[in-house]
C-alpha cells in the first residue's frame, strides 16, 4: 500500500441511533427486535392528520455529542422536510435538518498505539438530527416480487455525523470509527450496536493521482451498506483498487461521470453499482410547518458542558499520569469502555497496586470476558476482590502462578474471599528454613543438573522446579530457583 501511485481520500457519513426510549417525533418505543409494526402510532405511520412533537432527550443527546466533538452548537435550529417517495418513509418526506444543523464543524483526534499511522485530526462538517426510516424486506411469493414494510424503526432519532474528506487509508477510517464509537459509548448517547443498525456508515471515496505534476481526482463514489468496521476496511481497500483499475482503463476524472452509489457485498467482497445520480435528486427541502424551531441559550450549553463526562482521550492521559500506566496499557483499558475504566479505578481505590491490577485486567479478566462472552457484571468478580487478590500477590502471600488458581477458585464461588480461597487451596507461606531444607534436598538428588549448571548451562536448574512443586506445592518456584543458584554459586553445595 505504501507504494500506491495515488492518495486515497475518504469522507464518512455516520448515522447514529440515539438511545432515547421513545421516537424523535412520537412516543412509540424504539426498542429493537420487536415483531413488525408493533411499535407504531398515527405519527410514525404517517397517517392523515397526525402531527409530530419533538423528543427533548434527542436534543440533549445531540448537544452532548456535539460538545464532545468540539462542535459549534446552533443557538437556533429548525426542522426541514426532505421530500422523496419510498415505502419505508410513510409520510413521503423525512424530517431532517437542512441548512441549520444542530452541530457544525468540530473534530476528533485519532492515533494508533501500534503506530500504524501518524496521529491525525479528523474534522467534521456537521452533525444533524433526523428521523430513521422503516425497514423494507424483499419477498418473493408465487413468482410475485413484493417488499414487506416494517415501520417499527421509522422515527427513531438519528444523529448524522459528516466528516471532511480527511481520512487517507482504510486503517484510518476504521480507527476513526472505533474512536467515534468509543466516544459515543462514553457519552452514553447510543448503544452503537452495528448488528442492530444503531451505528451505520456510508463512505465517500475517490483517488488523488499525480499526473504530470498535477493532481487528478477520480469520480467520487458513495459506498453504502457498511455494517461492520471490518466491512468498512475491506470495502475501502476494494474500492481504492477498483477506482485505480477503472482510472487506468478510462482516465475519466471527477466531473466526467455522475456520482455513483455503490453497495458493499460482504460475501462477494465487492462493491456493486446501485445507481447513478443522473437526475440530481431534488429533495425540495423546506422548513417543516408542523414543527417549531429549537433555541438554545448560552446557559443551556454551559449546563450541558458541565454535565459532560470525561472523554476517552482525557481518560487515556489521566491513567498514564495518575497511575503510571504505560500508554499502551492505558489505551487497552480505555478502549474497552467506561465500565472497565471504572472497574480498574475501583480496584485501585480498594488498594490494588495499579500496574498489577492493569495487567490482571488485560491478561485474565479480558481473556475471560472474551472466552465467556460475558460482561463484567456477569463475570461476578468485583473490583474489590481483584484488589484483594493483587494485594496478596504483591505482598507475597501467594505467588503469581498460584494466584491464578486462587482467581479460578474465586470465580467459581462469588462469595469466596482471597483468604478463604488461599486456605481452601492449602496455600501456606513456606518459611525460609523449610525452603533451605527443600533446596538442599533437591540439589543432593540432582547432581547431574548441578554439574550442567556449573558447566555454564544456566537453564539446567529449571528441571528442579517441577520436583520442588511436587515436594511442596506452596514453594515459590522463583524463590526455589534463586536459592538453589545461590547455594551453588556460594560453594555451599
Partner 1 sequence: MSLSPTDVERIAHLARLQLSEAELASYSVQLQAIVTFVDQLQAVDTVGVEPMVHAIELSNVLAADEVREGLSRDLALSNSPDHDDECFRVPAVLG
Partner 2 sequence: MEWQFASAAEISRQLSSKQVSATEIAKYFLSRISKHNQAFNIFVHVDEELVLKQAAEIDARRARGESELGALAGVPVAIKDLLCTTDMPTTCGSRFCEKYISPYDGTVIAKMRAAGMPWMGKTNLDEFAMGGSTETSIFGAGRNPWDAQRTTGGSSGGSAACLAAGLSPLAIGTDTGGSIRQPAAFCGVSGFKPTYGRVSRYGVVAFASSLDQVGPMAHTVEDLALAMDVISGHDPLDSTSLPYAKPGYTTSLSQAPQRFRVGVVREQIESDGLNAEVKQAILKTLDVLKECGADVREVSLPHSKYWVPAYYVIAPCEASSNLSRFDGAHFGFRAEPLEGKKSKSPLVEMYSSTRAQGFGAEVKRRIMLGTYALSSGYYDAYYLKALQVRRLIRQDFDRAFEDVDILVGPTTPNTAFKIGEKVDDPVQMYLEDLYTVGANLAGLPALSVPCGRSQVGLPIGVQFQGRPLDDALVLQIGHRYQQAIGWRPTPAPLS
Binds 429: which of partner 2, partner 1, none (CB < 5-8 Å by kind): none
Which range, of 210-218, 282-290, 404-412, 477-485, touches partner 1 by CB under 8 A? 282-290
Per DSSP, 309 falls in state P
Instruction: Measure the CA–CA gap between 75 and 428, rounded to whole angstroms.
Output: 67
Segment interacting with partner 1 (CB under 8 A) among 140-148, 176-184, 205-213, 228-236: 140-148
For partner 2, the closer CB: 100 or 410: 100
Confirm or reject binding of residue 383 to partner 1 (CB under 8 A): no
Rounded to 5°, the CA angle 187-25-32 comes to: 60
Instruction: Extract the C-alpha cell encoding 438.
Output: 527443600
* Binding piece for partner 2, criterion CB under 8 A, among 12-20, 87-95, 239-247, 462-470: 87-95
**Of 6 and 93, CB closest to partner 2:** 93
Q: Does 178 bind partner 1 (CB under 8 A)?
A: no
Cα→Cα distances 439→21, 329, 475, 481, 493, Å: 67, 38, 10, 9, 10
Query: How many CB atoms lie under 10 A from the CB of residue 466?
Result: 10
- Told to check if 75 binds partner 1 by CB under 8 A, we report no
Stretch that binds partner 1, among 26-34, 248-256, 304-312, 413-421 (CB under 8 A): 26-34
Does residue number 149 form part of the binding site for partner 1 (CB under 8 A)? yes
Q: Is 225 in the site for partner 1 (CB under 8 A)?
A: no
| Alpha-carbon span 334 to 298, nearest angstrom | 31
**Residue 269 is a binding residue for partner 1 (CB under 8 A):** no
DSSP string covering 100-164, please? S-SEE--EEEE--TT-SS--EEEEEEEEEEEEPP-EEEEEEETTEEEEEEE-SSTT-EEEEEEE-
Q: For residue 93, how many C-alpha atoms fall within 13 Å in the half-sphere facing its CB? A: 19
Q: Which residues is 109 bridged to in the sheet?
A: 121
Residue 276 in the binding site for partner 1 (CB under 8 A): no
Selection from 93, 22, 37, 101 nearest residue 69 by Cα:
101
Q: Does 157 bind partner 2 (CB under 8 A)?
A: no
Report in angstroms how near the CB of residue 354 gets to partner 2 at its nearest: 52
Could you say which of 148, 251, 284, 454 contacts partner 2 (CB under 8 A)? 284
Which residues contact residue 470 at a Cβ distance below 8 angstroms, ignoring those fewer than 6 apart? none
Does position 273 interact with partner 2 (CB under 8 A)? The reply is no
Q: For partner 1, which stretch binds (CB under 8 A), given 85-93, 236-244, 420-428, 447-455?
A: 85-93
Q: What are phi and psi of 48, to 5 degrees?
A: -55, 135
Can residue 87 be called a binding residue for partner 2 (CB under 8 A)? yes
Q: Which residues bind partner 2 (CB under 8 A)?
A: 42, 45-54, 81, 83, 85, 87, 90-93, 145, 147, 149, 151, 280, 282, 284-286, 289-292
Q: Which residues bind partner 1 (CB under 8 A)?
A: 20-22, 26-29, 35-42, 44-45, 47, 53-59, 78, 85-87, 136-139, 145-151, 282, 284, 287, 289, 291-295
Amino acid at each position: 500500500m505504501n507504494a500506491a501511485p495515488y492518495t486515497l481520500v475518504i469522507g464518512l457519513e455516520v448515522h447514529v441511533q440515539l438511545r432515547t426510549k421513545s421516537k424523535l417525533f412520537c412516543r412509540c418505543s424504539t426498542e429493537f427486535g420487536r415483531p413488525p409494526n408493533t411499535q407504531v402510532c398515527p405519527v410514525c405511520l404517517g397517517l392523515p392528520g397526525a402531527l409530530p412533537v419533538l423528543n427533548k432527550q434527542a436534543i440533549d443527546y445531540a448537544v452532548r455529542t456535539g460538545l464532545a466533538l468540539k462542535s459549534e452548537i446552533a443557538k437556533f435550529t429548525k426542522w426541514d422536510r426532505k421530500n422523496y417517495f419510498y415505502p419505508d418513509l410513510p409520510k413521503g418526506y423525512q424530517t431532517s435538518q437542512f441548512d441549520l444543523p444542530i452541530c457544525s464543524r468540530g473534530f476528533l483526534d485519532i492515533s494508533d498505539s501500534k503506530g500504524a499511522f501518524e496521529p491525525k485530526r479528523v474534522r467534521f462538517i456537521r452533525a444533524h438530527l433526523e428521523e430513521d426510516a422503516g425497514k423494507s424486506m424483499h419477498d418473493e411469493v408465487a413468482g410475485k416480487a413484493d417488499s414487506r414494510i416494517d415501520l417499527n424503526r421509522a422515527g427513531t432519532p438519528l444523529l448524522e455525523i459528516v466528516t471532511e474528506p480527511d481520512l487517507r487509508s482504510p486503517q484510518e477510517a476504521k480507527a476513526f470509527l472505533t474512536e467515534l464509537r468509543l466516544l459515543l459509548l462514553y457519552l452514553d448517547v447510543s448503544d452503537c450496536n452495528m448488528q442492530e443498525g444503531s451505528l451505520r456508515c456510508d463512505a465517500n471515496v475517490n483517488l488523488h493521482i499525480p499526473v504530470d505534476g498535477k493532481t487528478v481526482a477520480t469520480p467520487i463514489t458513495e459506498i453504502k451498506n457498511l455494517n461492520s468496521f471490518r466491512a468498512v476496511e475491506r470495502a475501502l481497500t476494494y474500492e481504492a483498487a477498483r477506482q485505480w483499475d477503472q482510472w487506468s482503463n478510462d482516465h475519466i476524472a471527477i466531473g466526467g461521470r455522475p456520482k455513483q452509489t455503490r453497495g458493499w457485498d460482504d460475501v462477494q467482497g465487492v462493491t456493486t453499482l446501485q445507481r447513478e445520480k443522473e437526475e440530481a435528486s431534488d429533495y425540495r427541502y423546506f422548513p417543516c410547518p408542523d414543527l417549531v424551531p429549537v433555541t438554545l441559550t448560552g446557559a443551556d450549553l454551559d449546563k450541558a458542558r458541565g454535565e459532560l463526562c470525561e472523554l476517552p482521550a482525557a481518560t487515556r492521559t489521566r491513567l498514564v499520569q495518575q497511575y503510571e500506566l504505560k500508554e499502551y496499557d492505558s489505551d487497552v483499558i480505555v478502549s474497552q469502555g467506561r465500565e472497565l475504566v471504572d472497574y480498574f479505578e475501583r480496584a485501585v481505590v480498594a488498594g490494588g497496586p495499579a500496574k498489577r491490577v492493569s495487567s490482571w485486567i488485560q491478561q485474565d479478566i479480558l481473556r475471560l470476558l472474551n472466552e465467556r462472552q460475558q460482561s463484567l457484571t456477569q463475570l461476578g468478580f468485583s473490583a474489590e476482590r481483584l484488589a484483594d487478590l493483587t494485594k496478596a500477590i504483591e505482598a507475597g502471600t501467594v505467588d503469581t502462578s498460584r494466584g491464578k488458581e486462587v482467581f479460578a477458585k474465586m470465580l467459581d464461588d462469588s462469595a469466596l474471599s482471597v483468604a478463604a480461597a488461599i486456605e481452601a487451596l492449602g496455600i501456606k507461606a513456606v518459611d525460609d528454613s523449610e525452603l533451605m531444607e527443600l533446596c538442599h534436598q533437591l540439589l543432593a538428588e540432582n547432581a547431574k543438573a548441578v554439574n550442567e549448571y556449573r558447566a555454564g548451562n544456566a537453564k539446567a536448574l529449571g528441571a528442579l522446579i517441577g520436583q520442588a512443586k511436587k515436594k511442596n506445592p506452596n514453594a515459590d518456584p522463583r524463590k526455589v530457583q534463586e536459592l538453589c543458584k545461590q547455594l551453588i554459586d556460594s560453594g555451599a553445595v
